[in-house]
């Protein structure tokens, strides 16, 4: 067993820290946490994500289990980004499912698993941010599009294909070659 890395101190007033003091440590005990929090920095990918400070709605259930606290529910927030094909702005809403076990300190789970696999309670506190970050990033598209069939930009002139006439082309060569190209494309 490797030594536990010292955990950083959690601030119980931080919006993404859950306090379980009023949750009895008896399997089956349950508390509901519903709160709107400002989104933390860097919640997303390069092209798409939740703007820092935007309203993130947490709708969570904290449930005592024998080894710790199971947190499940959803986080819902506005997503902004750029279309990967045409660079037009995208705005959307994501609802991300969350389900994460946080083991009690010195429980069997605490002693036998790695912190990367199972989260830990720190005293009575849970740091929700890492799980939230993972869940949001997983839910976002790697290649965000303004719409599924976005035709993108003409690589020659950079104009959106929506704004160009059908069959728009910059090819000028011999018309016989053009005919041959068309033939090959079919
Ligand atoms: Zn697009
Ligand atoms: Zn063009």
Tens of pLDDT, residues 139-176: 998 889 999 999 999 999 999 999 999 989 987 755 55
pLDDT in tens, 132-141: 999 999 999 8
> Which pair of structure tokens corresponds to residue 23?
């949750």
Contact between 55 and 77 under an 8 Å Cβ cutoff? The reply is: yes
103 CA from centroid of ligand 2 (Å) = 58
Report the alpha-carbon distance of residue 100 to residue 117 in Å, rounded: 10
Task: Yes or no: say if 27 and 66 are a contact pair by the CB < 8 Å rule.
Answer: yes
pLDDT of residue 102: 96
Ligand with smallest separation from the Cα of 170: 2
From the CA of 84, how far away is ligand 1's center (Å)?
7
- pLDDT score, position 120: 93
Residue bearing tokens 């005592």: 64
Query: Is the predicted pLDDT of residue 79 greater than 50, yes or no?
Result: yes
Taking the CA of residue 150 as centre, how many other CA atoms within 13 Å lie in the half-sphere pointing to its CB? 19
Q: Supply the pTM of this predicted model.
A: 0.78
């Amino acid at each position: 067993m490797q030594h536990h890395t010292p955990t950083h101190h959690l601030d119980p007033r931080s919006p993404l820290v859950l306090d379980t003091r009023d949750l009895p440590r008896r399997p089956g005990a349950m508390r509901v946490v519903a709160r709107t929090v400002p989104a933390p920095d860097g919640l997303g990918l390069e092209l798409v994500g939740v703007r820092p400070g935007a309203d993130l709605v947490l709708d969570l259930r904290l449930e005592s289990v024998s080894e710790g606290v199971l947190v499940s529910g959803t986080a819902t927030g506005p997503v902004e980004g750029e279309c990967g094909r045409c660079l037009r702005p995208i705005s959307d809403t994501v609802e991300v499912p969350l389900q994460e076990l946080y083991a009690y300190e010195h429980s069997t789970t605490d002693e036998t698993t790695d912190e990367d696999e199972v989260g830990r309670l720190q005293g009575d506190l849970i740091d929700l941010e890492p799980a939230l970050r993972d869940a949001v990033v997983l839910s976002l598209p790697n290649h965000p599009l303004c719409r599924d069939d976005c035709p993108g930009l003409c690589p020659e002139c950079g104009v959106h294909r929506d704004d160009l006439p059908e069959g728009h082309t910059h090819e000028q060569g011999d018309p016989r070659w053009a005919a041959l190209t068309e033939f090959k494309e079919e």
